[in-house]
Amino acid sequence: MQSWESEGLWKKAKLFMDQAGEHDQASSAFAFFASLSIECLGRSALTKIHPVLNADPRDDSNILYACGYSLAKPRSLPAHSVFIRLEKIIKSFQSQHRELCEFLALQRNAHVHTADLPYEGLSTDKWLARFYDTIRILHDHLEKPLEHFLGPDGASMAAEMIKTLNASVLKTVREKINAHSKVFSSKSPSEKESVLRTSELSLAFPASNQEVCTCVSCGGKASLIGKKYKELQEQYVDGDLYMIVEYISVSYLCKSCGLSLSSIEEIAHAGLKTHFTKTESTNLHDLYEHDYQVEYDNM
């Protein structure tokens, strides 16, 4: 029955999640491995109650395997049935969580079994926050800290993403956008041109933690400010060393109309990016200087 042990399935889910974490969250690779991870996590949650819940009931040998009788190679329950059972068993696992799991399973099947590329262009705002909310619920059921699955930084980021599901923030954000849009519209054409030009020039050379975007209120140039989340694998291209850094959006400002947002919740409800990546050039000395700083100091 080792194949259906709850702990083993959780470890496999974590392995897939670790592989997802090697990529930018907006990438197809991240979404693919996340899809594999959440299915294994769901099966881990079921088998924690009893392995028989993971057995395909169409063959008695599968049920017998779950009870400790290894008569034939077992066949597990189809993924969609796993999520249906989780919804019936775990009170906090509701229809929106089941639907998210089913959506990811369908994308995974299309990715593996067809010529389609379903993860390409799949915006994170369609699934990522609910994904983190779902794995949090499954970990509560498993009585495991989410930090063990995502790491401290990942769990902290997940908590911020889950906040974006708070629909009560949406009304406030819409009112704020409409108010700034109304004030900007009341300006004369020359005033608009002047502030838009000034704002664009101020963002000609954005900082490393700054992403230039289009303002949702006035259409001018605005900026997202990010907090560094992780550094992806460095790449050596044409004699230069590059580092891709992923940032979580923490604030937003448009100098043209004055619209500002101060949390990832507001940023998400405004339809803006909750995270972005920047490519930074580096060199081997800068990359490994920290590792050998103590040795240098002792020379």
pLDDT digits (tens, 9 = 90+) for 13-28: 999 999 999 999 989 9
Q: How many other CB atoms sit within 10 Å of the CB of residue 80?
A: 13
Segments making up each domain of the chain, as ranges: 2-163, 168-288
Instruction: Reply yes or no on whether the pLDDT at 295 is more than 70.
Output: no
Q: Is the pLDDT of residue 69 over 70?
A: yes
Spatial separation of the C-alpha atoms in residues 246 and 249, rounded to whole Å: 10
Residue 281: which pLDDT band, with cuts at 50, 70 and 90? Answer: confident
Give residue 289's pLDDT band: very low, low, confident or very high (50, 70, 90): low
> Residue 33: which of 98, 108, 124 has the closest Cα?
108
The residue ranking higher by pLDDT, 279 or 17, is 17
Residues 280 and 243: their CA atoms lie apart, in Å, by 5
Cβ-proximal residues to 96 (8 Å cutoff; 6+ apart), any chain: 130
Tokens 């700054």 belong to which residue?
210
**Radius of gyration of the CA atoms of the chain, in A:** 24
Residue 96 has pLDDT above 70, yes or no: yes
